């Protein structure tokens, strides 16, 4: 992917996510939103998610 196309895609995804995560105060819902958008918009990703560390 050329640099301009890549910058445009990343910018659109960033703007979309910025608006979507404002709609919830739940960290879990925000993470799920981010995962869903990245999973569907980034065709080269084969796994999309978060690792959470609890108790250290």
pLDDT tens across 9-42, in order?
999 999 999 999 999 999 999 999 999 999 999 9
1's CB contacts (< 8 A; 6+ apart) are 9
What's the domain range around 13? 1-56
Report residue 17: phi and psi, to 5°.
-65, -40
Show the tokens assigned to 5: 């196309």
35's CB contacts (< 8 A; 6+ apart) are 48, 49, 50
pLDDT tens across 41-51, in order?
998 888 999 99
For residue 11, the model assigns a pLDDT of 96
Helix or strand or coil: residue 53?
coil
- DSSP characters for 18-51? HHHHTT---HHHHHHHHHHHHHHH-TT-S-----
For residue 48, the model assigns a pLDDT of 93
Count of domains observed in the chain:
1
């Amino acid at each position: 992917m050329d640099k301009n196309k890549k910058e445009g895609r990343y910018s659109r995804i960033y703007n979309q996510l910025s608006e979507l995560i404002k709609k919830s105060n739940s960290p879990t819902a925000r993470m799920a939103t981010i995962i869903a958008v990245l999973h569907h918009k980034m065709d080269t990703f084969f796994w999309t998610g978060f690792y959470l560390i609890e108790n250290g």
